[in-house]
Structure 1
Amino acid sequence: MAKKVIEIKNLSKHYQMGQTLVKALDGVSFDVEENEYIAIMGPSGSGKSTLMNLIGCLDTPTTGEYILNSQRVSELDDSELAQIRNREIGFVFQTFNLLPRTDCLSNVELPLIYSGIKSSVRKDKATQTLTKVGLGDRLDHKPNELSGGQRQRVAIARALVNDPSILLADEPTGNLDTKTGEEIMLLFEELHRAGNTIILVTHENDIANHARRIVRLRDGKIEIDQKVANPTLANVDTHLLEV
């Protein structure tokens, strides 16, 4: 039986806007098993960004329970959540969020600095991870010297360097052209096949169809939770992940 990485039980997030109570998330429940590849979808205002923020420990729920790797994170304070974020969750954002004046190696080292890893170990681990995503020859390049796809690969390497329990990607192809977006989805396919647990937030059906399961939200509730019958399988070159 597969290990449960995430258990979400009746999770809600409410906001007060003037006299109106906004239920951004309204009693959501689902589990994520190790090595699942899930796409979270929904129209604007459906609650998918709120859910992503809760899964990523960037926010706390109004009610309900969130368990990550057997730890009840829905009850943690801000400093404890920060530790969980750095140790358990790798983030990939649409806008890359790289430090512009810092080279690729230093960008990828950043989570290891927060973890207190010594310099020599940091550099080795960051170098290995950049090589894994196909950028072993770009260690000293700065973001403005890279293409959009290469920048997203640096961001993915940074997300992976701490060996997180889950990789949480928010519209990871949103700032890329179609061809480059497909290359990034190929990389996610490689990472999934290598054993990573991936949660992808997207509004694009063709991107979501790369996943193996789709959770679709509407009005703060789960509308559909289903397996993808025929996922878009990339032609994976697995040697990249054997480095």
Structure 2
Amino acid sequence: MNTTPNAQRPLIQLRHVTKIYPMGEQPVRALDGISLDIYPNEYVAIMGPSGSGKSTLMNIIGCLDTPTQGTYYLNGRNVSHLSESELARIRNKEVGFVFQTFNLLPRANCLQNVELPLIYAGLPKNRRRQLAEAALRSVGLGDRMHHKPSELSGGQRQRVAIARALVNNPSILLADEPTGNLDTKTGEEIMRLFELLYRQGHTLLVVTHEADIAHHARRIIHLRDGRIEYDEPVAQPALAGLDLSMSTA
């Protein structure tokens, strides 16, 4: 069951977050005073034109970068100015990443790719294998565990990447243009999988420039020139009324 967001503590809390990149005599203000809350089990799309700041915002939320000014609380912890090693530990524990280009190791099979975050977390081999197998089954790839990425379709490779993102049971699933390298039909299968994950209680943030992908979410945050232009609920989410219980995606 989905919970009422404002009845809980925010999972993500940004206050007056600014990010400035030094670029010669004219520094670039990629984010300009962003404040927002995202709650557990929200499904949020972040949109905006090129240069709007959406990638910078994703990097800060995912602890890949830190603000120049302002504060960021993730799961109740101030992560605004942690060291790189501290951020790496938080990323591995709290954030599951899904990228447009899949970022799979070509010589490793599906199981080995999904096990990677668990290796960094220091889990023993038997436990890693158990969790990786469960994650692959959860995305419909129980029969592809020993295949390498080159033996899979684009949609299957993205599902391996999603399994890898989920295997540590992170607080947030953060997807950057997750359908960008997929055809329309395969992209829709991935969005069905995201809908299932949302219904199971996961918190999803999808960064996209495509309006039809954004409308699978329950809330859209639209950026322009480093600021929030609007932050609104989605009136009719694309898959909200569908029965996905028999979906193979």
TM range (shorter): over 0.9
Matched, 1:112 2:122: no
Q: Who is 1:45 aligned against?
A: 51
For structure 2, the 5+ residue unaligned runs are 1-6
Give the match's secondary structure for 1:11: strand
> What is the one-letter code of the residue matched to 1:157?
A
Q: Who is 1:83 aligned against?
A: 89
Q: What per-residue deviation string (whole Å, max 9, x for no partner) do you get for residues 31-64 of structure 1?
A: 0000000000000000000000101111111000
Q: Who is 2:21 aligned against?
A: 15
Does the CA contact (< 8 Å) of 1:213 and 1:228 recur in 2? Answer: yes
Q: Who is 2:104 aligned against?
A: 98
Give the match's secondary structure for 1:137: coil
Q: Who is 1:122 aligned against?
A: 128
Give the match's secondary structure for 2:80: helix
Aligned identity (percent) is 66
Decide which moves more: 122-131 or 225-234. 225-234
Does the CA contact (< 8 Å) of 1:190 and 1:236 recur in 2? Answer: no
CA 1:119 to 1:236, structure 2 compared with 1: closer, same or farther past 3 Å?
farther
Distance in structure 2 (CA, Å) of the matches to 1:3 and 1:111: 27
> What is the one-letter code of the residue matched to 1:116?
G
Aligned residues: 241
Q: Who is 1:238 aligned against?
A: 245
Matched, 1:74 2:74: no
With normalisation by structure 1, the TM-score equals 0.97
Alignment of structure 1 residues 1-243 onto 2, 5 Å: 1-233=7-239, 235-238=242-245
Distance in structure 2 (CA, Å) of the matches to 1:239 and 1:125: 23
Give the match's secondary structure for 2:97: strand
Give the match's secondary structure for 2:22: strand
Q: What per-residue deviation string (whole Å, max 9, x for no partner) do you get for residues 134-157 of structure 1?
A: 000001000000000000000000
Give the match's secondary structure for 1:10: strand
For structure 1, the 5+ residue unaligned runs are none
1:17 CA drift (Å): 1.3
1:237 CA drift (Å): 2.9
Distance in structure 2 (CA, Å) of the matches to 1:82 and 1:130: 24
Does the CA contact (< 8 Å) of 1:24 and 1:45 recur in 2? Answer: yes
Give the match's secondary structure for 1:20: coil
Distance in structure 1 (CA, Å) of the matches to 2:15 and 2:100: 28
CA 1:89 to 1:236, structure 2 compared with 1: closer, same or farther past 3 Å?
farther
1:207 CA drift (Å): 0.1
With normalisation by structure 2, the TM-score equals 0.95
> What is the one-letter code of the residue matched to 2:43?
Y
Distance in structure 1 (CA, Å) of the matches to 2:81 and 2:53: 21
Distance in structure 1 (CA, Å) of the matches to 2:160 and 2:219: 26
Distance in structure 2 (CA, Å) of the matches to 1:53 and 1:141: 31
> What is the one-letter code of the residue matched to 1:37?
Y
Q: What per-residue deviation string (whole Å, max 9, x for no partner) do you get for residues 136-187 of structure 1?
A: 0001000000000000000000000000000000000000000000000000
1:239 CA drift (Å): 6.5
Distance in structure 1 (CA, Å) of the matches to 2:16 and 2:247: 40
Give the match's secondary structure for 2:164: helix
CA RMSD, 1 decimal: 1.2
Distance in structure 2 (CA, Å) of the matches to 1:77 and 1:168: 21
